[in-house]
Structures are given as structure tokens and as C-alpha cells.
């Protein structure tokens, strides 16, 4: 597969019609940017991040945790990964499968169980991608989730966390609500309504401890910003300086958490 061109779709073909039908069955607009246009978005974001971090996916067994509508799955398969995707929403696997098919690609897309064990043998994968998914994992299940990712990765396997809304942001990145990240979870128990919050980096750090080690570094993070956004700026420089001052990569502190890790 040509690594510089997103595989085209046939808008009149049966695979595309199947994708549209699956999206509509889930109550989604297949023409929405985050549905039908998600693969094109990730081609200009995830692909460039992988390149900046020096992550090669071709001919590797790769698991995408939380594949959603398959936007990232299309990118990974197009780059030559032997792709397996999993999602806990039963409406997502049919959309992801059809999304792959309409691009002339294929993958093994599974339905998972929230908080449950992954349906894979030990040491099944060379790499796991968690793109914009860990913030949706119940905090009570985060440690168990990391334990499972560690289990299914081969020795020295990689975990790439990206696009993950952080609880450090004053404005929650998905809902756009201000200050919701500052509200304790106890509020949800009182109101009976679960608010969308970002992932707390301190919780993530605890769940990674003893299982994964950072390998990305600030230069890869900076290179990704340059590739995707065309430059740096005061904000990017400030995050980089903060990271260096305390010996952490900037991806721990930014509005979207971004980390390259290795199984230990």
C-alpha cells in the first residue's frame, strides 16, 4: 500500500453503501467529519505522529483499543499493519469493518467488554494503539485495562497513547465544557449523571507503573507538533520547557496526553 496516499473509496460501491447504512443504524451521519471523514483526518494526524515517533507498523501485529468508527484502523491497515480492533460499543465494529472495506482494506474487528479481559492470548501483539479512548475508560477499570494491555503485548512491545483528553485542561476537550475537569466524581453520584472528564495523568501514571516505561522523549513530541501544525509557538515551547525541568515528556501535561511506552 502506498504510504503517502490514503486508499480511495468508491462512493457508489457496495462497501461504501454498507458503511453508510451501518453509520445510520448507529444514529450517525456518515458524512460527518468524525464519521465518514475521520480516516482522512487521522491520515493527516495519526500517520504523521507515527512517523515523528519513528513507529513502524508495517507487518506488525497491532491492536487498536477502542477502534470506534475505524478512522485510525484505516490508517494502520493502509500502512501495512496486521490489524485487530476492539470496541465495547456493539454499534462500532460493523462501522469500522465497513470503513476498512470501503478503502479496500481489512482487519479483525472485535466486540469487547467494558472492564473485562481482552479476548486474546498472552503476547499476541507487537503494539497497542490507544487513540482518544482511555478518557472514556471508567477510572475504576483503568488499572485492569493496563494490566490487560501489558498481558497481550509481546516482550518489548509498544503502547502508543495519543489524542487522549487530559483532566489538566480547564476546558474538557470533547464536550467543550469549561471547568468540568475540576469537579470531583462524587458530584456524579449525587446528580445521578456521569460527566465526561479527561483522563487524570496521575491515575494514568499509577496504572503504568511497573508495566510500561517511556521511550518517546520530548524531541518526538516536538517533531509531531511541527509536522501536524507547521510550527511551535509559545505554548509548545512552554510545555517542552516544563517537561525538561521535571524530567518528563511534554505529553504528560498537554490538553491531549501523548506518550510512547514500552512493555517492561
- Chain segment 103-116, per-residue pLDDT in tens: 999 999 999 998 89
pLDDT beyond 90 at 119:
yes
Count of C-beta atoms within a 10 Å radius of residue 236: 17
- pLDDT at site 103: 98
* Per-residue pLDDT tens over the stretch 18-74: 999 999 999 999 999 999 999 999 999 999 999 999 999 999 999 999 999 999 999
How much of the chain is helix, strand and coil, in % rounded to 5? 40, 20, 40
Cβ neighbours for 96, distance < 8 A, ≥ 6 positions apart:
67, 68, 69, 70, 73, 85, 87, 107, 109
| pLDDT attached to residue 236 | 78
pLDDT for the residue numbered 231:
67
Query: What confidence category does residue 77 fall into, taking pLDDT thresholds of 50, 70 and 90?
Result: very high
Confidence of residue 123 (pLDDT cuts 50, 70, 90): very high
Residue 82 clears pLDDT 80, i.e. is over it: yes
- Determine how β-strand 212-214 pairs with β-strand 256-263: antiparallel
Would you say 262 and 213 are in contact if contact means Cβ atoms under 8 Å apart? yes
Model confidence band, residue 230 (pLDDT cutoffs 50, 70, 90): confident
pLDDT in tens, 135-188: 999 999 999 999 999 999 999 999 999 999 999 999 888 888 899 888 888 888
Counting beta carbons within 10 angstroms of the beta carbon of residue 233, is it exposed (0 to 12), middle (13 to 18) or buried (19 or more)? exposed
The strand pairing partners of 87, in sequence order, are: 111
For residue 2, pLDDT over 60 is answered with no
How confident is the model at residue 232, as a pLDDT?
A: 64
Q: Average pLDDT over the chain, rounded to whole?
A: 94
Task: Catalogue all structural domains in the chain, each as residue range(s) with its CATH number.
Answer: 14-263 (3.40.50.150)
Amino acid at each position: 500500500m502506498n504510504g503517502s496516499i490514503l486508499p480511495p473509496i468508491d462512493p457508489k460501491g457496495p462497501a461504501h453503501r454498507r458503511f453508510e447504512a451501518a453509520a445510520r443504524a448507529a444514529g450517525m451521519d456518515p458524512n460527518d467529519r468524525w464519521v465518514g471523514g475521520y480516516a482522512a483526518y487521522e491520515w493527516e494526524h495519526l500517520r504523521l505522529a507515527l512517523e515523528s515517533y519513528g513507529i513502524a507498523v508495517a507487518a506488525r501485529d497491532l491492536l487498536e483499543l477502542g477502534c470506534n468508527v475505524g478512522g485510525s484502523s484505516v490508517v494502520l491497515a493502509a500502512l501495512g499493519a496486521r490489524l485487530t480492533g476492539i470496541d465495547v460499543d456493539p454499534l462500532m465494529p460493523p462501522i469500522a469493518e465497513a470503513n476498512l472495506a470501503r478503502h479496500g482494506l481489512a482487519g479483525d474487528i472485535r466486540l469487547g467488554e467494558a472492564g473485562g479481559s481482552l479476548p486474546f492470548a498472552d503476547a499476541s501483539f507487537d503494539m497497542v494503539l490507544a487513540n482518544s479512548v482511555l478518557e472514556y475508560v471508567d477510572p475504576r477499570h483503568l488499572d485492569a485495562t493496563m494490566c490487560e494491555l501489558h498481558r497481550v503485548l509481546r516482550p518489548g512491545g509498544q503502547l502508543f497513547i495519543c489524542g487522549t483528553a487530559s483532566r489538566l485542561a480547564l476546558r474538557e476537550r470533547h464536550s467543550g465544557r469549561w471547568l468540568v475537569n475540576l469537579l470531583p466524581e462524587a458530584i456524579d453520584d449525587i446528580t445521578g449523571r456521569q460527566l465526561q472528564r479527561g483522563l487524570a495523568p496521575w491515575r494514568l501514571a499509577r496504572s503504568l507503573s511497573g508495566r510500561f516505561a517511556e521511550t518517546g522523549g520530548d524531541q518526538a513530541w516536538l517533531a509531531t507538533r511541527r509536522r501536524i501544525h507547521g510550527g511551535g509557538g509559545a505554548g509548545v515551547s512552554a510545555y517542552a520547557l516544563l517537561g525538561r525541568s521535571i524530567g518528563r515528556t511534554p505529553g504528560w501535561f498537554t490538553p491531549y496526553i501523548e506518550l510512547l511506552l514500552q512493555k517492561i
